[in-house]
């Protein structure tokens, strides 16, 4: 009996040892098998997953050509070296936060863009009216921005790099022009989402000024070389008549007023007897030495008899350089509207 019990215990011990061996050294555990085939993560996208598309080398935008006509233009995407010969474009680039890409700039008297003039690492490329082509070439730009004053140099500059030529269009208004141009420039850097933020508030400010201007008329003009030139609704300062809505009686001068206006006689102003006179001092804008002050030119004996003068409604635009050289920029638009708000509202 004792022998039988001993045999049974021995058999059970053998079976137990066999079972342990099968668990530790037999068929692999299912979980271990799955883990052994799982990829080791190195931070990259798993095989088979869609990754972020590579950025394009170039994109196609619409700008103006040397004949001031809209045309498609292939430009580098996310350009690293930018040559600036237009202050409105520099204004937009600065607002978008890519001003550190500027390697050369035209000179400017605008306070808020002075860092691009005083930075010794940024080449002086001449002026917005006359580019230094050798300096432009030497700074090896990926892209060049110009305005209307340099349209005649479009072909020569295009030999150096793609030329982006943008402008304001009075037919759609200054605000829409700024929005459109900012979107075009932003698309070159993949920054389109920033445009809505940059343009925020402008429409409501226009509406407030528009409500004030209802049923009011005005003459808009610029002082230059001791005279007063009447401006229409087809060029500089057109925002006053087109978007804000003052009835611009200066259009009756019946002449092309888009550049420097029509040098109208002060008798013309007296005859129209406007409720408001808006004055942009061109001589101050371009820092003409020894120029007569706009107020001395405008407030003569004839004009002092108009309703505008009698009611204190002669408005001297406080930032003439902005109106004259940077119309079309984001910060410029803010300052232009502020000039009007501070005197009208």
Per the structure block, which two tokens stand in for 328? 């079309």
- Rounded to whole angstroms, how far apart are CA atoms 285 and 162? 30
Task: Pick left, alpha or beta for residue 18 (phi over 0 → left; psi -120 to 50 → alpha; otherwise beta).
Answer: alpha
- Rounded to whole angstroms, how far apart are CA atoms 305 and 160? 55
Per-residue pLDDT tens digits of the chain, which is 345 residues long: 444 444 444 454 444 444 444 444 444 443 444 343 333 434 444 445 556 778 899 999 999 999 999 999 999 999 999 999 999 999 999 999 999 999 999 999 999 999 999 999 999 999 999 999 999 999 999 999 999 999 999 999 999 999 999 999 999 999 999 999 999 999 999 999 999 999 999 999 999 999 999 999 999 999 998 899 999 898 899 999 999 999 999 887 655 444 445 567 788 999 999 999 999 999 999 988 888 999 999 999 999 999 999 999 999 999 999 999 999 999 999 999 999 999 999
CB 165 within 8 A of CB 154: yes
CATH class of 58-198: alpha beta
SS3 at position 134: helix
* Assigned CATH topology for domain 202-344: Rossmann fold (3.40.50)
DSSP, res 251: G
Within 10 angstroms of residue 329's Cβ, the number of other Cβ atoms is: 29
CB 151 within 8 A of CB 66: yes
Q: Which has the closest alpha carbon to 174: 261, 281, 88? A: 88
pTM score, two decimals? 0.82
Residue ranges of domains in the chain: 58-198, 202-344
Alpha helices by DSSP H, the chain: 2-25, 30-37, 87-96, 115-118, 133-138, 154-158, 174-187, 194-198, 202-213, 239-242, 266-272, 282-285, 294-298, 307-310, 320-325, 330-344
- Rounded to whole angstroms, how far apart are CA atoms 98 and 57? 18
CB 224 within 8 A of CB 282: yes
Q: Which pLDDT does position 33 carry in this prediction?
A: 40
Quick check: do 58-198 and 202-344 share a fold?
Answer: yes
Residue with tokens 């668990």: 23
Phi, psi of 334 (to 5 degrees): -60, -45
């Amino acid at each position: 009996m004792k022998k039988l019990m001993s045999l049974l215990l021995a058999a059970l011990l053998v079976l137990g040892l066999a079972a342990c061996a099968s668990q530790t050294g037999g068929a692999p555990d299912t979980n271990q098998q799955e883990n052994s085939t799982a990829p080791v993560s190195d931070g990259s996208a798993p095989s088979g997953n869609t990754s972020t598309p590579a950025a394009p080398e170039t994109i196609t935008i619409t700008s103006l050509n040397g004949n001031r006509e809209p045309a498609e233009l292939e430009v580098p995407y996310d350009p690293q070296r930018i040559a600036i010969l237009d202050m409105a474009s520099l204004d937009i680039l600065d607002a978008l936060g890519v001003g550190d890409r500027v390697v050369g700039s035209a000179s400017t008297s605008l306070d808020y863009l002075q860092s691009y003039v005083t930075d010794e690492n940024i080449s002086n490329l001449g002026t917005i009216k006359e580019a230094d082509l050798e300096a432009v070439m030497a700074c090896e730009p990926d892209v060049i921005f110009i305005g209307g004053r340099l349209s005649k140099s479009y072909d020569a500059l295009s030999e150096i790099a793609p030329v982006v030529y943008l402008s304001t269009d009075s037919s759609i208004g200054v605000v829409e022009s700024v929005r459109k141009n900012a979107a075009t420039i932003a698309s070159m850097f993949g920054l389109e989402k920033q445009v809505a933020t940059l343009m925020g508030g402008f429409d409501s400010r226009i509406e407030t000024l528009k409500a004030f201007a209802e049923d009011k008329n005005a003459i808009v003009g610029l002082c230059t070389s001791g005279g007063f030139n009447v401006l229409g609704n087809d060029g500089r300062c057109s925002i006053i008549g087109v978007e804000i809505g003052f009835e611009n009686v200066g259009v009756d001068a019946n002449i092309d007023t888009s550049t420097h206006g029509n040098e109208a006689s002060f008798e013309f102003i007296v005859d129209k007897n406007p409720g408001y006179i808006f004055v942009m001092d061109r001589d101050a804008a371009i820092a003409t030495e020894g120029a007569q002050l706009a107020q001395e030119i405008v407030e003569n004996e004839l004009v002092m008899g108009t309703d505008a003068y009698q009611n204190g409604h002669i408005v001297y635009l406080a930032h003439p350089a902005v109106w004259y050289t940077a119309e079309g920029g984001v910060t410029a638009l803010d300052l232009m509207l502020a000039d009007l708000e501070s005197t009208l509202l």
